[in-house]
Amino acid sequence: MRQGQARSKGLSAADIDATFRAEVADVLSHVLPLAHHHDIDIVKEVARKWLVWHDAPLDPESTD
């Protein structure tokens, strides 16, 4: 809907954006417990997978 590729079902652009934000939050709310259940350090895995370009290693324990 946000890209005009689906019917808006009478929703305003603001309503469509709010629905999209809620759906993203819903996905995240499912992924975090899944990672916890499987003992996955999600911060470490995101850094390893997506932040490889970062100059310094990301350490959530760091005080820098």
Residue 1 lies in a domain: no
Q: What is the pLDDT of residues 9-52, one digit of tens each?
A: 777 888 888 989 999 999 999 999 999 999 999 999 988 888 87
Question: In this predicted structure, what is the pLDDT of residue 39?
Answer: 98
Asked if the structure places residue 30 within a domain, the reply is yes
Whether the per-residue pLDDT at 58 is higher than 60: the answer is no
Q: Is residue 18 part of a domain?
A: yes
In-domain check, residue 15: yes
Q: Is residue 3 part of a domain?
A: no
Task: Let me know: does 13 contact 1? Beta carbons within 8 Å.
Answer: no
The count of structural domains within the chain is 1
Contacts of 33 (CB under 8 A, 6+ apart): none
Does pTM top 0.85 for this prediction? no
CA distance 35 to 42: 7
